[in-house]
Amino acid sequence: MSLFQGKKGLITGVFNEKSIAWAIAEQVMDGGGACGFSYMPDRPDDQRQKNLGRLQKLTEGKPQAQFLAPMDVTSDEQIAEVMTRCSQEFGKMDFLLHSIAFAPPEDLRGDTIATSRAGFKMAMEISAYSLLALARAAQDVLADGASILTLTYYGGEKCVPGYNIMGVCKAALDSIVKYLAFDLGPRGIRVNALSAGPLQTISGRGAGVDAMLRLYEAMAPLGRNISHAEAGRCGAFLLSDMSSGISGDILHVDAGYHAMGSPGRMLDKFKGLIAE
């Protein structure tokens, strides 16, 4: 039997084929899981409906993609509408993937100390509070023993220059994972986070991913970067019953980079510059 045979759930935050959420969704659907997808609503004046169009193109020909629904996570009403749709389509959900983050570009590009009050509020609401909002709205739709997964990054644990205010948001998100795991634990609902190394994604490009890719390749114990497929497989694992004993955790999928306390093999390149 396939890993997700008979399982149903909601995938949020797929922007294009390079999204980590899409890599996870593909693994889930290939394993027999039925998925509903939410997307950021297009502006009323956008005749091309670009956000919906991208998702339609990705899910075309995939019978496991059950529905597409607009959802702005700053609106409790829209979140409730999507959960009602999930209840109508699935009855009960077995998994929920939260893959939503945003900060105003002018605040993300600037030093953290320069973050505006309005930018901080927006970034924290969309990137961290939205997990609380989704989990709360999904309580009656999630089956006992279901799995909630969010996407985080190492910049929430350590200072990663260039990640700036988003690192502060990820630190809050990491803490929310732990507290939600406790709140939902009596029902057997697990809450975890996947911390992937740098990948070529829309959000990654905004955080200077090219330089990070070179750094990770030089420092990580495996001496390489990860692939979208590796992140997808690990995310699907955390959404599946295979991870039934894991909750409140952060799984690092970064070729071991997070384990390093020094530049590692990078030091070989600088031996002549370092005094004995």
Residues assigned a catalytic role: 153, 163
Residue 51 structure tokens: 């956000």
Integer Cα distance of 56 and 54 in angstroms: 6
Hey, is 7 helix, strand or coil? coil
Integer Cα distance of 70 and 51 in angstroms: 9
From edge to edge, which strands make up the β-sheet containing 65-70?
Answer: 65-70, 34-39, 8-11, 93-98, 142-152, 190-196, 250-253
Hey, is 156 helix, strand or coil? helix
191: number of Cβ within 10 Å: 28
Integer Cα distance of 219 and 235 in angstroms: 24
Integer Cα distance of 33 and 27 in angstroms: 9
